[in-house]
Amino acid sequence: MYVAVKGGERAIQNAHAWLAEERRGDTSVAELSVAQIREQLSLAVNRVMAEGSLYDPDLAALAIKQARGDLIEAIFLIRAYRTTLPRFGASAPVDTGNMACDRRISATFKDLPGGQVLGPTFDYTHRLLDFKLAADGETLEAPMREAEPGPVPHVTEFLNKEGLIEEAPQDETTPPDLTREPLEMPADRALRLQALTRADEGFTLSMAYSTQRGYARNHAFVGELRIGTVPVEMEIPELGFAIEIGKITLTECETVNQFKGSKTEPPQFTRGYGLVFGQTERKAISMALVDRALRWEELGEDNVGAPAQDAEFVLYHADNIQATGFLEHIKLPHYVDFQSELELVRKLRREVEASQNQHQEATE
């Protein structure tokens, strides 16, 4: 018998009111504004934009405030909001070769056109807590130096004069979109890249780390890492030409991996690719390593059974909103499910006890 249960409305309302009060915290401490989060917690904002798959720093900052700093909850809010927006179209692919770089480094080549630009990085800091930040800190101004305008070519492009690096020839296929069609296997590279760029940073990092530790031979060098802004261009149907509709910050990582060659490919360096919204360096490097590991089949490599080579495993478990949705639903009422399980276990117990009794009687 199915029994509908009602109740708890008042409890839920009061729980939400208390949540709002706890979110605010001690009222003798000044309230955090959305603009403060956007400006001062910008890497959290970037992560929410990347994994929420919606570039809008103000919305991401609002989501972080509403979620009390729980970034997966904030990403959930952004994903939910995203579904309410009509889609005006798709942009032309962004040209990362023309990025206005804040940061651009290569771990493989010291002297590269455009130079090694460190940008605002945590690298080379001592990871010591800075107690000056706890006091009212004065604002420091970043030093400036005259910039030499000039192209900042991709490392792989100028290296490729020798033909030692696998090429990524231009192609104009319309990519599949997992926000429109469910993700199904086998997933081509375009679909894998879309899934990876919005994937959970922690999961992607762990998968990438596993390839470095030997689960899929994949010794990667960071050929290039760049962070900066690119314009977004879109063809406007009512105008009949393309205009820039905005400007976004991206992090791009290209790895080069040694490759012994296969039946179809000569020995060369192959490439892994990461491109992520915002300044999201750890995620972009992780994405590039996982992308490379997942390319084993198209490069004719062996499947050594490593988790990072298993597209189905990686792509179906990388989305933190799907994962948390399924995981967290088990805390919601399952009274009826559990009631039936309880009945089943009681019945099995009775049967076992009955057969034991019979057995005992028979032996007596």
> Taking CB under 8 A as the criterion, which residues in 213-232 touch another protein?
231-232
Nearest distance, CB of residue 83 and another protein, angstroms: 10
Residue 150 lies near another protein (rule: CB under 8 A): no
Residue 235 lies near another protein (rule: CB under 8 A): no
Number of shown-chain residues binding another protein (CB under 8 A): 82
Q: Give dist(CA 224, CA 281) in Å, integer.
A: 11
Restricting to residues 175-204, name those near another protein by CB under 8 A.
175-179, 189-191, 193-194, 197-198
Handedness of CA 84, 87, 93, 97 (dihedral sign): negative
Let me know if 362 is exposed, middle or buried by CB neighbors in 10 A (0-12, 13-18, 19+).
exposed
Phi-psi group of 261: left, alpha or beta (phi > 0 → left; psi -120 to 50 → alpha; rest → beta): left
Task: Tell which one of 12, 17, 80, 168 touches another protein (CB under 8 A).
Answer: 168
Residue 55 lies near another protein (rule: CB under 8 A): yes
Residue 277 lies near another protein (rule: CB under 8 A): yes
Q: Give dist(CA 86, CA 157) in Å, integer.
A: 38
Q: Give dist(CA 321, CA 52) in Å, integer.
A: 9
Residue 36 lies near another protein (rule: CB under 8 A): no
Q: Which stretch binds another protein (CB under 8 A): 13-21, 87-95, 131-139, 202-210?
A: 87-95
Task: Tell which one of 38, 65, 271, 283 touches another protein (CB under 8 A).
Answer: 271
Measured at the CA of 32, the angle between CA 29 and CA 37, to 5 degrees, comes to 145
Cis peptide before 86 (omega within 30 of 0): no
3-state secondary structure at position 262? coil
Nearest distance, CB of residue 190 and another protein, angstroms: 4
Q: Which two tokens stand for residue 263?
A: 């039946």
Nearest distance, CB of residue 338 and another protein, angstroms: 39
Nearest distance, CB of residue 311 and another protein, angstroms: 15
Residue 20 identity (one-letter amino acid):
A
Nearest distance, CB of residue 312 and another protein, angstroms: 19
Contact (CB, 8 A) for 283 and 244: no
Sheet holding 100-105, edge to edge: 100-105, 220-236, 241-259, 268-277
Contact (CB, 8 A) for 243 and 164: no
- Nearest residue (CB) to another protein, 154 versus 282: 154
Q: Which stretch binds another protein (CB under 8 A): 136-144, 303-311, 313-321, 339-347?
A: 136-144
Residue 252 lies near another protein (rule: CB under 8 A): yes
Residue 82 lies near another protein (rule: CB under 8 A): yes
Nearest distance, CB of residue 168 and another protein, angstroms: 3
Contact (CB, 8 A) for 324 and 200: no
Residue 157 lies near another protein (rule: CB under 8 A): yes
Q: Give dist(CA 90, CA 93) in Å, integer.
A: 9
- Nearest residue (CB) to another protein, 177 versus 302: 177
Q: Which two tokens stand for residue 277?
A: 């919204």
Nearest distance, CB of residue 201 and another protein, angstroms: 14
Task: Tell which one of 43, 80, 92, 336 touches another protein (CB under 8 A).
Answer: 92
